[in-house]
Amino acid sequence: MPNLYVVLTHYPVVNKSGNIIISAVTNLDLHDISRAAKTYGVKSFYVATPLKDQKVLVKRIVRHWIDGAGAGYNPARRLALETIKVIDSIADVVEDIRQIENTDPKIVVTSAHRYPSSIGYDKFRALLQTGLPYLLVFGTAWGLAESLIGEADYVLEPVCGAADYNHLSVRTAAGIIMDRLLGI
Amino acid sequence: MPNLYVVLTHYPVVNKSGNIIISAVTNLDLHDISRAAKTYGVKSFYVATPLKDQKVLVKRIVRHWIDGAGAGYNPARRLALETIKVIDSIADVVEDIRQIENTDPKIVVTSAHRYPSSIGYDKFRALLQTGLPYLLVFGTAWGLAESLIGEADYVLEPVCGAADYNHLSVRTAAGIIMDRLLGI
């Protein structure tokens, strides 16, 4: 199994004007990305937000599907939502993975833009073959803040189709990227 | 550009007990799948439902992003939602494509299950190279009714990851399948 962790972060991300914001959690991000994470054997799906009320909200949604009425209604959904860990920040994700793996993960950020240092999917697939832990970072709103992109070990190249349009939802992009990295 | 059309249908689909139902439209299905359709150069994204109030709802959502306040707020979203055609049934989708292409499309249905007649992604990619029109069918709720699957020209094999779990959302599955067929 791959040694891949995924985080969806709500800070620091940018709004449509390019200003750094904390975005609100979207319920279907939790469902769709956890279902993809479970499908592709991702170790944990972290949901990062510094806002206490948003963390409470995410935990409440997750509990509904793990221990609440949702668990009996849809056991497959329980298995997906169980991969979610709610956490403050990407620094705390790294710390959590360090506790599990006894080493820091390499950080790979995603972006709809191409950078001179962007790596391709074949390269990242090969890196995952080493068995070393990697943390793949997805941003909400209009994407990750440049400061976060600048600090990463790698930037993954954007998902492109035949057309000159790349405005996928983060839910769809996360699914496609996991499929490109871990699909069979 | 590929000669591919996509339909998301709300009838005939099954519920968790396997009974045939008409499902309700989910707003984010419209956004996520239209954004993927635009990314991958799909010709039209049909949303099929026989329910009049549901058609009114979809048209209202689409209009908000094409002509309403959403169009100015997010022009990229307008380009995606413009690919949507609201329609009664898959029979009507076929008729619409016949008017455009002067021939019937071949129908390819999706399913989370494997059938003896399922075809793989390489095979479908090769079929698309012919330039002939194809209609790719996605179901909501617990998936397409068996009657519909039985009448199709082809069944596409399910999306699989490394793990023994295949409960992706239709939004995520649609994105991954378009990427496998049309991604570069």
* Token pair belonging to A134: 């990697």
Determine, yes or no, domain membership for B22: yes
Query: Average pLDDT in the B94-119 region?
Result: 96
What is the C-alpha radius of gyration for chain B, rounded to an integer number of angstroms? 16
Interface residues on A facing B, Cβ-Cβ cutoff 8 A? 1-2, 16, 28, 31-32, 35-36, 38-41, 74, 76-77, 79-80, 159-163, 165-169, 171-176, 178-180, 182-184
- Give, as one character, the DSSP assignment of residue B146: H
Q: Which of B125, B142, B169 to mutate to test the interface with A (most CBs of A within 10 A)?
A: B169
Can you tell me the mean pLDDT for B106-122? 94
Q: Do B1 and A163 touch (CB under 8 A)?
A: yes
Work out the pLDDT band at A119, boundaries 50, 70, 90: very high
ipTM: 0.96
The Cα B90–Cα B55 span in angstroms is: 14
Nearest to A184 among B74, B79, B161 (CB): B161
> Do A22 and A55 form a contact (C-beta atoms < 8 A)?
no
Residue B74 lies in a domain: no
What's residue B22's pLDDT? Answer: 98
Asked whether residue B34 carries a pLDDT value surpassing 90, the answer given is: yes
Which amino acid type is present at position A118?
S
Residue B59 inside a domain? The answer is no
What's the mean pLDDT in A165-182? 96
**Of residues B76, B80, B163, nearest to A39 (C-beta):** B163
Average pLDDT over all residues of chain B: 96
Averaged pLDDT, A59-83: 94
**What pLDDT was estimated at residue A163?**
79
What mean pLDDT is reported for chain A? 96
Q: How many domains does chain A have?
A: 1
Question: Which residues in chain B are contacts of A39 at CB distance < 8 A?
Answer: 159-161, 163, 165-168
Side-chain-side CA neighbours of A115 within 13 Å: the count stands at: 16
Q: Are A108 and A137 in contact (CB under 8 A)?
A: yes
pLDDT above 90: residue A117: no
Task: Please tell me the distance from the alpha carbon of residue B4 to that of residue A31, in angstroms, as a whole number.
Answer: 28
- pLDDT of residue B164 exceeding 90: no
Which residue type sits at A149? I
Whole-number pLDDT of residue A5: 98
Give the angle subtended at the CA of B32 by the CAs of A48 and B25, to the nearest 5°: 110
| pTM of structure | 0.97
User: Looking at residue A62, which CATH number applies to its domain?
Assistant: 3.40.1280.10
Contacts of A174 in chain B (CB under 8 A): 172
The answer as to whether B71 is a domain residue is no
- Contact between A1 and A41 under an 8 Å Cβ cutoff? The reply is yes
Tens-digit pLDDT profile for residues B36-62: 999 999 999 999 999 999 999 999 999
**Mean pLDDT of the region A142-161:** 96
What is the pLDDT at residue A34? 98
Q: Which domain holds residue B108?
A: 4-50+84-182
Q: How many CB atoms lie within 10 A of CB A2?
A: 20
Among candidates A41, A74, A176 on the partner chain, residue whose Cβ is nearest the Cβ of B161? A41
pLDDT for residue B91: 98
Instruction: Confirm whether B58 is domain-assigned.
Output: no
Does residue B60 lie within any of the structural domains? Answer: no
Residue B114 domain-assigned? yes
Which member of B74, B76, B171 has the closest CB to residue A171? Answer: B171
Residues on chain B bordering chain A, Cβ-to-Cβ distance under 8 angstroms: 1-2, 16, 28, 31-32, 35-36, 38-41, 74, 76-77, 79-80, 159-163, 165-169, 171-176, 178-180, 182-184
Q: How confident is the model at residue A1 (pLDDT cuts 50, 70, 90)?
A: confident
pLDDT, position A162: 80
Burial (Cβ within 10 Å: 0-12, 13-18, ≥19) of residue B182:
buried
pLDDT tens readout for residues B119-156: 999 999 999 999 999 999 999 999 999 999 999 999 99
Distance of CA A130 to the CA centre of its chain: 21
| Rounded Cα distance, B165 and B122, in Å | 22
B22 vs B184, more confident: B22
